[in-house]
Amino acid sequence: MRITARNGKGLLAALMITGLIVYLTISGMRTSHEKQADKEVQRWLRLAREDAKPNWTEDDAVSWFEQHSFEPIRKKQGIHIVIGKSKGQFPLVDGFRPIEGGGMVAKRFWVRIAFFFDEEGKLRSVEGTAWPFDPEEQKPNH
């Protein structure tokens, strides 16, 4: 088959349409995966908030993570920042749990749940997010 200008343009158009279809399909799969990751985070966050008690300590948060197979688990210090200035530190404990999926088309996410404590060590809040980065491989430091 000889390629002429006329059928060359048709081939180019077909390739462009195919590329667009592939791009839209992959985009849709990624969006769907991100929505599923957010739903999984909300499920774990709801459970963490239901289980957390006002008198919890950092060790109670670590125990909760261990009971629910979160890893790694990290105790660390957060920093209060107000308009670019550090206003002190506070303890927090966070844990990670992989979310199924990801792979070649969509990045892998982890559920990140964090228990925040005030300067006196009292539980202040529990927050969660779909964490798009591979958490550092480290042993729990508790």
Q: Where are the domains of the chain?
A: 5-131
Please report the pLDDT score of residue 101 as a whole number.
66
Calpha distance 3→97 (Å, rounded): 54
Encoding tokens for residue 118? 């005030």
Please report the pLDDT score of residue 81 as a whole number.
64
Closest CA to 74 of 55, 56, 93, 59: 93
**What is this structure's pTM?**
0.71
Closest CA to 44 of 19, 79, 23, 69: 69
Closest CA to 44 of 117, 97, 122, 92: 97
Calpha distance 123→136 (Å, rounded): 25
pLDDT in tens, the chain (142 residues): 565 556 667 778 778 888 777 777 667 666 776 788 899 999 999 999 999 999 999 999 999 999 999 999 888 887 766 666 666 778 999 999 988 765 666 678 889 999 999 888 899 999 999 888 778 654 444 4
Please report the pLDDT score of residue 140 as a whole number.
45
Calpha distance 61→73 (Å, rounded): 9
Report whether 73 contacts 142 (CB < 8 A): yes
The DSSP secondary-structure symbol of 99 reads: P
Count the Cβ atoms, other than its own, within 10 Å of residue 42.
13
30 burial class (0-12, 13-18, 19+ CB within 10 angstroms)? middle
Closest CA to 44 of 96, 92, 116, 108: 96
